[in-house]
């Protein structure tokens, strides 16, 4: 970039903002994370999360081999132009690998510009809209009893909203139920094969929520994740059966490639619906939002093109009174969480934010300034998104290949996971 060009904006000079280096850092402090670090001539750097669970190295290569060479010499302040260059300019658009790579660049640039401006990132987006970000935690149990105890533990910790999952009689290793200390879906080098039974599941879930309301009363917000396991008519039945227990949301009730499938669920139920943690573009959600078939959009910063694209998605959703409910499982790194919390602090149509605790090792590799207090997460006031990386420590945790499980019906048919 021409260092003698007129200075634009107030976040340093064009010369200060020139990108001089960009590196992909892969580390496994309990699970794999991919991080992009972009450095400017001023010495100020930015970080972006590039983690795509089970497909980490595809994004690492997309970035290192195809994106980083384009960044060197660019003005880090040209966030929008860089986004358009990587999306429109690349010819090949969308898809989780591409959009995760673009997100990593985008978040790192927002981080740099906020640091140069001396502002917390939420301020650049338009400033604070709320005092804290409502989060939900994950309670799970091998049976209803254990799941209810877990919900109780979250309430004791101060949570105001809890997602609940429980074992399904006859189903070995159901989605969302912990095997070790904490629930972590990607557990082996090759996918674990699980067996799925829809009738047993449809039987147990309403019983779970009946019990949770009886044990914990009407005030706690309850959520549930179907993880794409039902057909549209089965999803409609579950949503209807759960109405008496007033869920905050029912998530991913059926796969959303066919967006019109949700019309069927809507016809039968007023249970609020959340969709989209696997979405990577506004186009994945267009009909769902326009036709008001969902209540919460879960597409998040790391998998949907960064702040620049998710801001557009959130504004579009706001026109239809659809609120945000960003994905925030442990496979999204603290870097994504930091950026998401700044976004959540600003976005007018905020709904809720998913929050699972990272391991101590992960928290040590990614020092951050966000804190949990009384059921809400609070982003810090440090310039940027407030999350750093300890590269020396990251190097002590080398990449370990891990994939998500797969699900089959009892007769061997491959099913949705």
Q: Give the shortest CB-404-to-ligand EZ4 separation in angstroms.
A: 6
| CA 17 to mean position of chain CA atoms | 29
Q: Are strands 371-373 and 376-378 parallel, antiparallel or unpaired?
A: antiparallel
By CB under 5 A, name the one of 16, 18, 225, 234 that touches Co ion: 225
Place of tokens 């039987």: 203
Q: Looking at beta carbons, which residue is closest to ligand EZ4? A: 329
Is residue 344 involved in binding ligand EZ4 (CB under 6 A)? no
- Which member of 138, 224, 227, 342 is catalytic? 227
Q: Which stretch binds Co ion (CB under 5 A): 104-112, 223-231, 300-308, 367-375?
A: 223-231
Q: Give the shortest CB-312-to-ligand EZ4 separation in angstroms.
A: 23
- Which member of 136, 154, 175, 355 is catalytic? 175
Distance from first CA to last CA of the chain, Å, rounded?
Answer: 46
By CB under 6 A, name the one of 16, 56, 225, 388 that touches ligand EZ4: 225
Which of Co ion, ligand EZ4, none does 90 bind, CB closer than 5 to 8 A by kind? none
Place of tokens 């595809």: 58
The token pair at 150 is 């877990």
Q: Give the shortest CB-40-to-Co ion separation in angstroms.
A: 36
Check if 227 is active-site: yes
Nearest partner of 400 among 52, 55, 28, 24, judged by Cα:
28
Q: How far apart are CA 303 and CA 314, in angstroms?
A: 14
Q: What angle, 0 to 180 degrees and rounded to 10, lies between the N-to-C axes of helices 306-319 and 96-117?
A: 100
Show Cβ contacts of residue 338 under 8 Å, excluding neighbours closer than 6 positions.
368, 369, 370, 379, 385, 386, 387
Q: Give the shortest CB-45-to-ligand EZ4 separation in angstroms.
A: 27
Q: How far apart are CA 309 and CA 306, in angstroms?
A: 6
Is residue 53 involved in binding ligand EZ4 (CB under 6 A)? yes
Q: How far apart are CA 62 and CA 53, in angstroms?
A: 15
By CB under 6 A, name the one of 120, 185, 306, 334 that touches ligand EZ4: 185
* Contact characters 382-411, Co ion, x per CB under 5 A: ------------------------------
Show Cβ contacts of residue 214 under 8 Å, excluding neighbours closer than 6 positions.
none
Which of ligand EZ4, Co ion, none does 342 bind, CB closer than 5 to 8 A by kind? none
The token pair at 278 is 């696997």
Q: Which stretch binds ligand EZ4 (CB under 6 A): 89-97, 99-107, 147-155, 326-334?
A: 326-334
Bridge partners for 21 per DSSP: 39
> Going along 259-386, which residue ranges are E strands?
273-275, 296-297, 323-326, 350-354, 371-373, 376-378
* Contact characters 74-113, ligand EZ4, x per CB under 6 A: ----------------------------------------
Count residues binding ligand EZ4 (CB under 6 A).
9
By CB under 6 A, name the one of 227, 303, 309, 342 that touches ligand EZ4: 227
Q: Which stretch binds ligand EZ4 (CB under 6 A): 87-95, 210-218, 279-287, 325-333?
A: 325-333
Is residue 276 involved in binding ligand EZ4 (CB under 6 A)? no
Please identify, using beta-carbon distances, which residue of 318 and 404 lies nearer to ligand EZ4.
404
Q: Give the shortest CB-356-to-Co ion separation in angstroms.
A: 11
Q: How far apart are CA 208 and CA 211, in angstroms?
A: 5
Please identify, using beta-carbon distances, which residue of 45 and 175 lies nearer to ligand EZ4.
175
SS3 labels along 111-170: HHHHHHHCCEHHHHHCCCCCCCEEEEEEEEECCHHHHHHHHHHHHHCCCCEEEEEECCCC
Q: Give the shortest CB-179-to-ligand EZ4 separation in angstroms.
A: 14
Active-site positions read 175, 227
Q: Which residues bind Co ion (CB under 5 A)?
A: 225, 277
User: What does the binding site for ligand EZ4 look like in residue numbers (CB under 6 A)?
Assistant: 53, 185, 225, 227, 277, 327, 329, 331, 354
């Amino acid at each position: 970039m021409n260092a003698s060009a007129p200075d634009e904006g107030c976040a340093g000079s064009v010369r200060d903002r020139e990108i001089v280096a960009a590196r992909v850092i892969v580390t496994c402090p309990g699970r794999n994370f991919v991080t992009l670090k972009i450095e400017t001539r001023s010495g100020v750097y930015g970080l972006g999360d590039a983690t795509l669970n089970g497909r980490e190295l595809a994004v690492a290569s997309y970035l290192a081999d195809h994106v980083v060479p384009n960044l060197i010499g660019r003005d880090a302040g040209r966030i929008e132009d860089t986004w358009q260059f990587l999306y429109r300019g690349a010819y090949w658009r969308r898809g989780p690998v591409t959009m995760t790579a673009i997100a990593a660049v985008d978040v790192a640039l927002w981080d740099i510009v906020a640091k140069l401006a001396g502002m917390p990132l939420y301020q650049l987006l338009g400033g604070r809209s709320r005092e804290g970000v409502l989060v939900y935690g994950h309670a799970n149990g091998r049976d209803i009893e254990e799941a209810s105890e877990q919900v109780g533990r979250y309430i004791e910790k101060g949570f105001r909203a809890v997602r609940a999952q429980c074992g399904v009689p006859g189903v070995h290793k159901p989605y969302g139920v912990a095997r070790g200390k904490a629930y972590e879906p990607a557990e082996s080098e090759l996918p674990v094969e699980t067996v799925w039974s829809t009738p047993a599941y449809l039987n147990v879930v309403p019983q779970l929520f009946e019990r949770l309301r009886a044990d914990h009363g009407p005030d706690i917000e309850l959520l549930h994740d179907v993880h794409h396991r039902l057909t549209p008519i089965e999803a409609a039945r579950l949503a209807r059966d759960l109405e008496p227990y007033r869920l905050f949301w029912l998530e991913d009730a059926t796969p959303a490639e066919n967006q019109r499938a949700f019309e069927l669920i809507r016809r039968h139920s007023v249970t609020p619906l959340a969709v989209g943690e696997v979405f990577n573009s506004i186009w994945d959600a267009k009909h769902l939002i326009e036709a008001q078939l969902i209540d919460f959009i879960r597409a998040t910063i790391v998998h949907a093109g960064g702040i620049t694209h998710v801001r557009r998605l959130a504004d579009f959703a706001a026109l239809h009174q659809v609120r945000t409910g960003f994905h925030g499982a442990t496979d999204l790194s603290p870097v994504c969480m930091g950026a998401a919390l700044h976004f959540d602090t600003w976005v007018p149509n905020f709904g809720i934010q998913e929050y699972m605790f990272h391991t101590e090792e992960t928290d040590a590799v990614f020092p951050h300034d966000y804190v949990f207090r009384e059921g809400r997460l609070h982003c810090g006031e440090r310039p940027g998104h407030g999350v750093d990386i300890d590269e020396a420590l990251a190097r002590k945790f080398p990449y370990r290949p891990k994939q998500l499980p797969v699900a089959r019906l009892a007769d061997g048919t491959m099913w949705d996971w």
